[in-house]
Chain A
């Protein structure tokens, strides 16, 4: 057993609840069996950092409607296909004749658009600060190559406003800050939140050891407004300026709806006026209506409820029959809780 595990097991302070915000951390915690190493006084909850999980039904419904247009093809990452909209998923729409194509990179859109100039290709542009620069790059390439049949349906979100929202709920004692997001934004972006709420933030990579080190740091600085960067090989204080500039060139902040939370002021990104020709109608997609009213995704996303506390978990809602987004995404907390047999962990 490593010294880090011993240090965590020897923790004898008051119970702490630590939130990992990023879906990749959620996956790594499950894959490394980290919960099985922690004492009962240290609880891990998953936050709203899985881009697919926080997407509202109005957005999915709009994508589904677009896929039914004869001249339009909806292009998406695989994760989004099975997320239920208010009535069906994109995968369901595809099976019923909707035009939906899965790709691994948004840049594939350039090839598709050139191959079929008579079709309009709409990319389901979900994601956080990490993915936004890729969309900016795509649009600039499309402009250079004068491709007029590329559109984005945007549902882009930014981390600090939603972390602020979680802090205000007062249920979390520290954050395992999102590692990939921090590469772009820089670690300093969390300093105002840390100071205001007197909570520790640990920026960390994704190996089991670094997550353990981050948890030790959070326990050690409990009650202190500190940002500790444990990922200095790729995360700097100021972040990736080029990526930030690319995003600023194409996008401006906007209000955004988060599944289960509602609208958070200034928590999204929308296309700037001069890029609006690329927009597939992303405005006003704020409504959020669960396909299954008993679904408790919202509370799970906020760390208020563990996956096993949802009445649908494991019975009605499984990876094969997902009722909510948290069970679909490979970064979803319910998905990992189900697969690793730990709904109540």
Chain B
């Protein structure tokens, strides 16, 4: 079936679409009441976030827009120290979209939500004129345990940086799909709960965490440096990048440090807790290749400094522009 403007009318077609496509897949008590807003248990410290997802193609090796829309918001909640609980989703659907495509997206979202142990409790659907595209907004709520404070302001001199796995896979997978390049690179798109909870369960003193999405590690760490006033030192040799991604970057002139990921996070932890943190992370799903990549140093320096394989030092800037492939 093709989506028509009638599916966005708010009338019977709209309800039918929502019932058939989304409600059946996201089924849970809060959603099943189908009221104007979901009513859920609360009265704790809340974390709230929202994000919109636009990706071409909608399905790519290692993921799809649905999995992306759940993981993106779940991971943002996790980075604030929250336990993700509830998600809302808004669909902007262009006229002409195929309901089979929407079914695949909804199934993927439901499966990812189950994996991330949260419920999709409210949603919205709008149909607009266009060429059959699909865009998704998700908003998430999570509960933050009392006493847990994370963020750039908590960074301390000597903190050690851990990265949950290799850089650049999502960016390279999407670019490969767009450019019709065949390779074995798959998006890393994943919910990061297991890795994050493993750190807390092991009693690691985590100062700050960020998921390394668009803009890449370089952009995230420059934000930490700017906000904390400390310098961030990275070891080039320690940065995990797969052979395939490295080769792909070499051809296109891309830098894994500024490439986007959808299932990686960087954590700053107390130096005494590093070995515990590393073994906890490596035993968690999606974090088996976690590595120590650098540290926070004193306020007498600034910015992000990379110690190169050759023994040189260079400043790592945040991403400027779009990171376009070079031409010769």
Contacts and interface: CB of A to CB of B under 8 A. Distances in A.
B310 interface: yes
Given A1-B311, A33-B314, A78 B306 contact: no
Contacts of B255: 31
Interface string B295-325: 0000000010011111111110100111011
Given A82-B321, A319-B321, A212 B326 contact: no
Contact of A341 (B179, B303, B326, B328): B303
A126 B325 CA distance: 15
Nearest to A111: B180
A169 interface: no
Contacts of B326: 23-24, 27, 79, 330-331
Interface of B: 179, 252-253, 255, 303, 306-315, 317, 320-322, 324-328
B324 A340 contact: no
Contact of A27 (B179, B253, B303, B307): B253
Which interface residue of B306, B307, B313, B326 has the most chain A CB atoms within 10 A? Answer: B326
Contacts of A128: 328
A161 B111 CA distance: 62
Interface residues of A, number: 41
B84 to A, nearest CB: 35
A339 B326 CA distance: 17
10 contacts: A24-B328, A31-B314, A32-B309, A33-B313, A78-B322, A130-B328, A208-B308, A208-B309, A320-B320, A340-B317
Given A78-B325, A331-B326, 9 more contacts: A1-B311, A5-B310, A24-B326, A31-B314, A32-B309, A34-B310, A36-B313, A320-B321, A342-B315
B163 to A, nearest CB: 19
B328 A330 contact: no
Contact of A127 (B309, B311, B327): B327
A330 B312 contact: no
Given A319-B321, A330-B253, A36 B327 contact: no
Contacts of B306: 33
A235 B308 CA distance: 27
Nearest to A50: B328
A209 B308 CA distance: 12
A78 B324 contact: yes
Interface string A310-345: 000000000110000000001100000011111000
A33 B310 contact: yes
Interface string A168-193: 00000000000010000000000000
A339 B303 CA distance: 11
B327 A131 contact: yes
Given A78-B322, A128-B328, A320-B320, A37 B311 contact: yes
A2 B312 CA distance: 11
Interface string A1-22: 1100100000000000000000
Contact of B312 (A34, A77, A78, A320): A34
B310 A32 contact: yes
A131 B325 CA distance: 14
A90 interface: no
A339 B316 CA distance: 7
A297 interface: no
B206 to A, nearest CB: 30
A30 B325 CA distance: 17
A51 B326 CA distance: 10
A52 interface: yes
A49 to B, nearest CB: 9
Given A32-B310, A33-B310, A339 B325 contact: no
Given A33-B306, A77-B327, A127-B327, A24 B253 contact: yes
A2 B310 contact: yes
Contacts of B313: 33, 36
Nearest to A79: B327
Contacts of A127: 327-328
Nearest to B314: A33
A37 B310 CA distance: 9
B310 A209 contact: yes
Most A CB within 10 A of own CB, among B310, B312, B327: B327
Given A104-B179, A319-B321, A208 B328 contact: no
A23 B328 contact: yes
Interface string A193-228: 000000000000000110010000000000000000
Contacts of A130: 328
Contacts of A52: 327
A126 B322 CA distance: 20
A286 B281 CA distance: 60
Given A77-B327, A79-B327, A330-B326, A33 B320 contact: no
Nearest to A131: B328
Nearest to A82: B321
A213 to B, nearest CB: 11
Contacts of A104: 179, 252, 325
B311 A5 contact: yes
A312 to B, nearest CB: 17
B222 to A, nearest CB: 11
Nearest to A81: B324
A19 B255 CA distance: 24
Interface string A154-165: 000000000000
Tell which of B252, B313, B314, B324 has the most Cβ of chain A within 10 Å: B314
Contacts of B311: 1-2, 5, 37
Most buried by B among A31, A35, A130: A31
A51 B328 contact: yes
B312 A33 contact: yes
